[in-house]
Structures are given as structure tokens and as C-alpha cells.
Amino acid sequence: MDLNTLITVEGLARSFPAPKGGGNVTVFDELWFDVAKGEFVCLIGHSGCGKSTLLNILAGIDKPSGGVVIVDGKEITGPSLDRAVVFQGHALMPWMSVMANIAFAVTSRWPKWSAAKVREHCQHYIDMVNLTGAEDKKPAQLSGGMRQRVGIARALAIEPRIMLMDEPFSALDALTRGSLQDEVVSICTKTRQTTFMITHDIDEAILLADRILLMTNGPEARVAEIVVNTLPKGRVRNELHKHPNYYAMRNHLLDFLVSRSEDLRGMVEGVDPKHPPMVFPKAGDGGPQPTLAASRT
């Protein structure tokens, strides 16, 4: 095993009892991938392929039906403060202020810290997500984007080894989403935070991810391909589309979501699920040519 590997997922499967009885429905099986230290990995797939289930298993909230998740050489058995989760619906406690929400996490991590130290630590992360001044506000007094910032600050404040994000920006409007993505880029670059994020937004994946896992449609979804981001690190949202590889990346992902995710369903024959093909989309690869009118998904 590579020393640099933080998470290894081996042969992971999850099935649920079928709604009308008669056997189980396997959402995904034979899932194999890994995440290196300091890496940002995105997983893209259609709804129904078990993305959120996978994230819940990584978080330790849900249990797999088969296979293992290994973090730092140890199989996970439940939730851990080493793995912080940013939930899709922010999941802030509405009766707690911003400060109290983050302090709840911080005191869970370091129960012996004095109140002053907890406060100081929380303040650092509140400032980091640009929420200075909103410490004493309740979540109901914040906009959707600000709430998700608190969710991110809460996850970062426990200084996790891995941050797991479940479509964190999907409920936000495009402008807010953009500025939050920028902040996540700068925070993750600064802190070298290992992050695993689920998304269905292609541009988000290109901006944030070092590698992008493509998941086929469920049931029995698998990782069909691992796309290595050919745009160099230090990506800036406004400059993204000027890079020669951008359209190759974008079209590859779009093509996958639109048609190939369905074609590859049930897994193509002859491909070892342990080693899904690695793809490096570059300019001039052929395939669909860049079109400015490429529709967003």
C-alpha cells in the first residue's frame, strides 16, 4: 500500500431490502478506489447510484453490506472525529448560535479545553469562512450560503484528517455556489485538507478535484473510470475555461453523465473493478469538440 494513501475502499457493496419484498436491491458493489493525503477527490454520478449512501458509509453512519473502508491502515467500524462531514442540508442546530454550533464540535473533539480556548479556536474558523460578525446569529438568521459556510467551518474546526462533503452546494444559487467554491479552493490549498466530495456539478468537479471518480448508474453501480484533472493545481474559476484542456475535461465528463453512465451500467466486460481505467482528457484528444453552448447538467 502506498504510504501516501489515506483512504482505501476495497470491494465496497451496499444493498437494501427491495421495497416490495423478494430479495435485495444492490445499490453499488465492487467499489474500489483510494484517496491520497492532501488530495481532493470528487465523485460524480446520477442520483440513485448510491452517492450519499457511499458517503454515509465513509462517515461511519451507515454500514456496508460487503467490502471494507480502510483509513490510515485501519478498517473503519463507525463514525470518527478524524472524518468530518459537511451535510447536504447544512444540518446546523437551529437553537444554537453560529459560535455554539462550531463549539459543540470543538468541545466534542477536545473536551478538556477551556471555554476561552474553544472560543478562540472557533473564531479562527469563523474568520476563515468569512463569517466574522455573525458569531451570535442563529442559523435561521443566515442565508443559505452562510449556513453552509458554518457547516464547513464546523467540519474544519475539528481538524479532521478527511473532510467528506455531500453535495454541499447543491441547494445554493449559482452566484453563492461560485463564491463558496472559491473559498473551498483557497482553504483546501492553504491547509492541504484531504477532501472527498460528492457532486453532480461538472464545473465544480473540474475546479476543485484532483481526481474525479465517475460512477455508473445504479443499481449495481460501480466506478467506471477515474479522470485525472489535467488542469494544473491553483485553478481559478474565472480562468478555468481559458486552459486548453478545459473543454476536453468538461466534454469528457458531460459525455459520461449524458450517455456513458447508462451504457456502462452493470460494468463493461473485461474491466477489472479493482483497477478502473485512468483517463487524462487533454486538448486535441478527439471526441466531442468543444461547443460554447454545451449545456450544464
Partner 1 sequence: MSTSSSLKAAILSVVLLGAFLGAWQLAVGGTGSSQAMDPEYAALMGATSKGASAMPTPLDIGKEMWRHISDPFYDKGPNDKGIGIQLGYSLARVLLGYLIAAIVAIPLGFVIGMSPLFYRALDPYIQVLKPISPLAWMPLALYTIKDSSISAIFVIFICSIWPMLLNTAFGVAAVRKDWLNVAKTLEVGRLRTAIRVILPAAAPTIMTGMRISIAIAWLVIVAAEMLVGGTGVGYFVWNEWNNLSITNVICAILFIGLVGMALDQVLYRLSKLVTYAE
Residue ranges binding partner 1 (CB under 8 A): 56, 59-61, 79-81, 83-85, 87, 89, 91, 93-96, 104-105, 108-109, 138-140, 158
CB of 31 to partner 1, least distance (A): 21
Rounded Cα–Cα distance for residues 62 and 239 (Å): 39
Separation of alpha carbons 182 and 188, rounded Å: 10
Nearer to partner 1, 80 or 189 (CB): 80
The owner of cell 445499490 is 27
Nearer to partner 1, 108 or 186 (CB): 108
Residues 6+ apart with CB under 8 A from 213: 33, 41, 42, 43, 44, 223, 225, 226, 227, 276
The nearer residue to partner 1, 51 or 83, going by C-beta atoms, is: 83
What CA–CA distance (Å, rounded) separates 234 from 40? 12
What's the closest the beta carbon of residue 158 comes to partner 1, in angstroms? 7
Supply the minimum distance, in Å, between the C-beta of residue 171 and partner 1: 13
Give buried/exposed letters for 22-34 (b at 16+ CB in 10 A, else e): eeeebbbbbbbbb
- Between 167 and 225, name the residue whose CB sits nearer to partner 1: 167
Q: Between 106 and 253, whose beta carbon lies closer to partner 1? A: 106
Residue 50 CB contacts under 8 Å (≥ 6 apart), including other chains? 14, 27, 28, 215, 218, 221
Q: Minimum Å distance from CB 139 to partner 1?
A: 8
Q: How far is the CB of 204 from partner 1 (least distance, A)?
A: 22
According to DSSP, the β-strands at 162-166 and 83-86 are: parallel
In the complex, minimum distance from the CB of residue 224 to partner 1, in angstroms, rounded to a whole number: 29
Rank residues 138 and 260 by Cβ distance to partner 1 and give the closer one: 138
Alpha carbons 227 and 213: distance in angstroms, whole number: 6
